[in-house]
Amino acid sequence: MFVWMERDWLEEQLGAGRSIEAIARGVGRHPSSVAYWVHKHDLASMHAARHAPRGGIDRDALRELVEGGLSVRAIAGRLGVSPTTVRHWLAKHGLQTSRAQRLRLGGSSPEEPIIACPTHGPTPHVRGSDGYWRCRRCRAAAVMRRRALIRRTLIAEAGGACARCGYSEHPAALQFHHVDPAAKAFTLRNGDTRSLARMRAEAAKCVLLCANCHAQVEAGDADIALRSAVHEHPPR
């Protein structure tokens, strides 16, 4: 949980009369992220209550609750009106709950519908193999974290430093050099999406070199005294 979304802090902000939009601007987040935590902590913006007279529901107040992920019945309970009233004002204001969006999209939905993400706000989502929609930006961040973890693992298992000059200051400058080009199945790159097992098998055919030494070795201007085995400690 984000530090600034702790329940006590958020309750204090709402109690001081700050709207969800104002809180979002103060912490540099999307209003839907704040609305998500307001709903998660079972809190309510006083603006939502004030703009919910029986004669109508204010659009901004209703949008806050929609972006917080509330269903029609949950919104009705929060505002003290009937679900029918909520549906009427949702239609009038051109809003839809997340569930309504998913139902509307159904099997013939666009490949990347816009759905509210608790972290990034309204953003394109993609359907996973399990059938659930996932934020494209969240998924991309998860892939990047996985790639970075695999690369750190391979570098550590290869000794963590250039086998020729000992450079180890930054992993971005370290590269895998295939000892036998004929045995090379693929190049070990930063953006690889292959399994850790396949990456380890390929790394076992290589020595770790810094970018400078790698360029010199590839150009034939430098040599490296290879050990009897590529790695003193084979990958686990």
Quote the tokens at residue 216: 């010199």
pLDDT in tens, 183-214: 998 888 766 778 889 999 999 999 999 999 99
Q: Are 126 and 160 in contact (CB under 8 A)?
A: no
Whether 41 shows a pLDDT value over 80: the answer reads: no
Please tell me which residue, 207 or 28, carries the higher pLDDT value. Answer: 207
Quote the tokens at residue 21: 């939009």
Mean model confidence pLDDT for the chain:
77
Q: Are 50 and 17 in contact (CB under 8 A)?
A: no
Strand partners, 114: 124
The dihedrals phi and psi of 174, each to the nearest 5 degrees, come to -100, 135
Quote the tokens at residue 63: 């949008």
Q: Taking Cα atoms as reference points, which of 98, 46, 102, 42 lies closest to residue 69?
A: 98
pLDDT of residue 101: 61
Quote the tokens at residue 140: 């991309």
49 Rama class: left (phi>0) / alpha (psi -120 to 50) / beta: alpha
Q: Round to whole Å and give the CA distance between 204 and 159.
A: 12
What does each C-alpha distance from 34 to 24, 69, 115, 142 come to in angstroms?
6, 11, 16, 22
Q: Round to whole Å and give the CA distance between 63 and 112.
A: 22
Mean pLDDT of 46-66: 67
pLDDT of residue 108: 37
The dihedrals phi and psi of 206, each to the nearest 5 degrees, come to -120, 165
